[in-house]
């Protein structure tokens, strides 16, 4: 149940970010979280997936992880 709640919070933050900043980094994080913790991974647990969006957009994820907003 905690995983579902965390996914809901990530989705809410992603909607806020898209509405206020016009970016989709948090939406990517929410998708990756849902894929990892909420989706059925199948018998191979996802290692047979066609592509990994986290690897394709790695630079964007890292860049957003280390920014500090000053108010």
Q: What is the pLDDT of residues 13-64, one digit of tens each?
A: 999 999 999 988 899 999 989 988 888 877 887 777 777 777 788 888 887 7
Q: Read off the tokens for 61.
A: 């994820």
Look at residue 24 and tell me if it is in a domain. yes
Look at residue 70 and tell me if it is in a domain. no
Spatial contact of 14 and 47, defined as CB atoms under 8 Å apart: no
In whole angstroms, give the CA distance from residue 7 to residue 29: 10
Look at residue 71 and tell me if it is in a domain. no
In whole angstroms, give the CA distance from residue 60 to residue 64: 6
User: Can you say whether residue 14 is alpha, beta or left, with left for phi > 0 and alpha for psi between -120 and 50 degrees?
Assistant: alpha
pLDDT confidence band for 68 (50 / 70 / 90): low
| Number of structural domains in the chain | 1
Q: What is the per-residue pLDDT for 71?
A: 45
Look at residue 52 and tell me if it is in a domain. yes
Look at residue 28 and tell me if it is in a domain. yes
Q: Helix and strand tally (H, E) in the chain? A: 4, 0
Global pTM reads 0.71
Q: What is the per-residue pLDDT for 8?
A: 94
Q: Domain range holding 16?
A: 2-65
């Amino acid at each position: 149940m905690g995983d579902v709640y965390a996914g809901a919070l990530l989705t809410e933050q992603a909607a806020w970010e898209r509405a206020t900043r016009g970016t989709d980094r948090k939406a990517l994080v929410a998708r990756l979280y849902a894929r990892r913790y909420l989706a059925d991974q199948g018998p191979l647990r996802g290692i047979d997936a066609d592509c990994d969006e986290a690897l394709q957009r790695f630079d964007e994820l890292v860049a957003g992880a280390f920014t500090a907003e000053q108010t």
